[in-house]
Amino acid sequence: MSDRLVIFDTTLRDGEQSPGASMSRDEKVRIARQLEKMRVDVIEAGFAAASNGDFEAVRAVAEAVKDSTVCSLARANENDIRRAGEAIRPACSGRIHTFIATSPIHMEKKLRMTPDQVVEQAVKAIGWARAYTDNVEFSAEDAGRSELDFLCRIFEQVIKAGAKTINVPDTVGYNLPEQFAALIRSLIERVPNADQVVWSVHCHNDLGLAVANSLAAVMAGARQVECTVNGLGERAGNASMEEVVMAVRTRADLFPVHTGIDTTQIVPASKLVSQITGYPVQPNKAVVGANAFAHESGIHQDGVLKHRETYEIMRAEDVGWTTNRLTLGKLSGRNAFRSRLQDIGIVTESEEQLNAAFARFKELADKKQEIFDEDLQALMSADVVDPAFEHYKLLSLRVCSETGEVPRAAITLGAAGEELKAEAEGSGPVDAAFKALEKIVSSGTELLLYSVNAITGGTDAQGEVTVRLAKGERIVNGQGADTDIIVASAKAYINALNRLGSEVIRLDPQGETV
Ligand code: KIV
Ligand code: ZN
């Protein structure tokens, strides 16, 4: 009998700490519903104390999700824990995840606390958290660079105080698989009452080893892995959930564990997260990259046709590649549209929002014969903006591009009931459109990233554009989708500008204090 490996997804918290990946409440709820459908055990919905918006987002996820445990991160202080406890209150099953740094460098330089003070604070934190729930997780931030004796000491104390999950993060992605496995093994051997808790790992990918370290830890006794969809997360990201899950499943002959994940939901989750955050998936990414199951070389194609397992260790359909199915067409009605949106986890909040979305769907169906789930996701994620935050709106765009001529764009934006117009030339039609936009808005932003992807196959596919803008310390991603990629680009730029205008200051959980 193999043990259950708990899959703890932190896409909505650590994933959200990636530059520009911050998500609105509704976007978080949509991703959380997909994670629930995938049967993720624990969804870390955010850091409730970061801002009122973050608090509301964690609470909305706690209200929406029924089958997964919903968790909020909290630093080891009373206020953070109170916010986390209040935010998860509506959850059928809620967890508070509290943490404090334990490495010499973090304790001395960041926290300015002695090891004794850190232990005392951690124990108090567990007590505060237990006033809200018995399901309390404790993390020793930067455990990967902490002293083993100190980790044993603090873990012994927090277990005594009532922590049920003990998480060992390799916060800076410094560890190597054998070393990390040895750390987990030693902790489980040495910490009193280790068998009363679930041992968890949280690995960052700075050396590209997050998945390898997590799997090595599982071999050493860890029974929870913290991971994110597409490996999103701080800096180089976290362990990729799809890789961890598929490694455990594909090598069930070696791993003493199994997960409860419905793997057919992996690709839809990957696409949804990519669309919402604006982080494209690299084509050669394991499991969810567009090439992950594509065989280019003639020898491989021949082999796969003769016998699939000559070159494939997993089946594309097992991870959801075939769920790309035709959903709606030009003649589909409003009810069919609404119920398909619900099936893919999108609930429109008002009849007006549904009507507006339906009008856009009809527009798209006029241009594109086959509408897939991915088209609907893009239609909703790129364009459905809370009207309160939609300061600029694209009213029209005309672009002239001809060989031998300088491309020109003329754009009209709506803003606060006014029509604003500008024209500009550029090195290409996208450049001209962005220059025309900037003539109107003078945003003072720097363009950090511009990327285009086809959402589905075929030349009538919608192009999905991501634009990342920076202004001072703030970075936002904007998305736009359209069958015309110049229009998609303008929409993405405007979406980023609107997000910049609506971003609020949020606390960084791994910032300076406790
Ligand atoms: O990387 C890390 O250490 C974290 C903790 C807050 C768990 O994200
Ligand atoms: Zn982390």
For 472, the token pair is 């001072």
- Please indicate whether the domains covering 3-277 and 387-502 agree at the CATH topology level: no
Among 3.40.50.1110, 3.20.20.70, 3.65.10.10, 3.30.1540.20, name the CATH number for the domain at 3-277: 3.20.20.70
Out of 73, 81, 105, 214, mutate this one to test ligand 1's pocket (max ligand atoms within 8 Å of CB): namely 73
pTM metric for this prediction: 0.87
Ligand nearest to the CA of 224: 1
For residue 121 and ligand 1, the question of a CB distance below 6 A is answered with no
384: three-class secondary structure by DSSP: coil
For residue 141 and ligand 1, the question of a CB distance below 6 A is answered with yes
Closest-CA residue to 211 (of 228, 196, 198, 197) = 228
Distance 261 CA to ligand 1 centre (A): 23
| CA 446 to chain centroid | 24
pLDDT at 210: 98
For 486, the token pair is 């110049």
Distance 145 CA to ligand 1 centre (A): 13
| CA 45 to chain centroid | 10
Total residues belonging to the chain:
514
For residue 202 and ligand 1, the question of a CB distance below 6 A is answered with yes
pLDDT at 459: 83
Give Cβ neighbours of residue 86 (< 8 Å, ≥ 6 apart). 48, 55, 59, 132
Distance 390 CA to ligand 2 centre (A): 32
Distance 514 CA to ligand 2 centre (A): 16
pLDDT at 325: 56
Distance 15 CA to ligand 2 centre (A): 8
Q: Where are the domains of the chain?
A: 3-277, 292-321, 325-381, 387-502
Per-residue confidence in pLDDT tens, the chain, 514 aa = 899 999 999 999 999 999 889 898 989 999 999 999 999 999 999 999 999 999 999 999 999 999 999 999 999 999 999 999 999 999 999 999 999 999 999 999 999 999 999 999 999 999 999 999 999 999 999 999 999 999 999 999 999 999 999 999 999 999 999 999 999 999 999 999 999 999 999 999 999 999 999 999 999 999 999 999 999 999 999 999 999 999 999 999 999 999 999 999 999 999 999 988 989 898 899 999 988 887 656 666 666 677 777 778 999 999 998 644 556 888 888 888 888 888 776 777 788 888 888 988 898 888 887 788 778 877 876 445 556 567 899 999 999 999 999 999 999 999 988 999 999 999 999 999 999 999 999 999 999 999 998 887 788 888 889 999 999 888 888 889 899 999 999 999 999 999 888 766 778 888 867 7
Task: Tell which atom from ligand 1 comes closest to the C-alpha of 139.
Answer: 7
Question: Domain 387-502 is of which CATH architecture?
Answer: 2-Layer Sandwich (3.30)
| φ/ψ of residue 59, rounded to 5 | -65, -40
Give Cβ neighbours of residue 188 (< 8 Å, ≥ 6 apart). 194, 199, 220, 221
Q: Please state, in angstroms and rounded to a whole number, the distance separating the CA atoms of residues 342 and 347.
A: 6
Distance 144 CA to ligand 2 centre (A): 12
For residue 177 and ligand 1, the question of a CB distance below 6 A is answered with no
Give nearest CA residue, ligand 1 atom 2.
Answer: 171
Strand positions, DSSP E, 220-365: 224-227, 257-258, 326-328
Q: Which residues of 6-44 are buried (b: 16+ CB within 10 A; e: fewer)?
A: bbbbbbbbbbbbbbbbbbbbbbbbbbbbbbbbbebbbbb
Give nearest CA residue, ligand 1 atom 5.
Answer: 141
Helices (H), 234-333: 241-250, 266-277, 298-306
Cβ < 5 A residues, ion ligand 2: 14
Out of 202, 227, 507, 508, mutate this one to test ligand 1's pocket (max ligand atoms within 8 Å of CB): namely 202
Q: Please state, in angstroms and rounded to a whole number, the distance separating the CA atoms of residues 489 and 478.
A: 9
pLDDT at 324: 45
For 51, the token pair is 């801002």
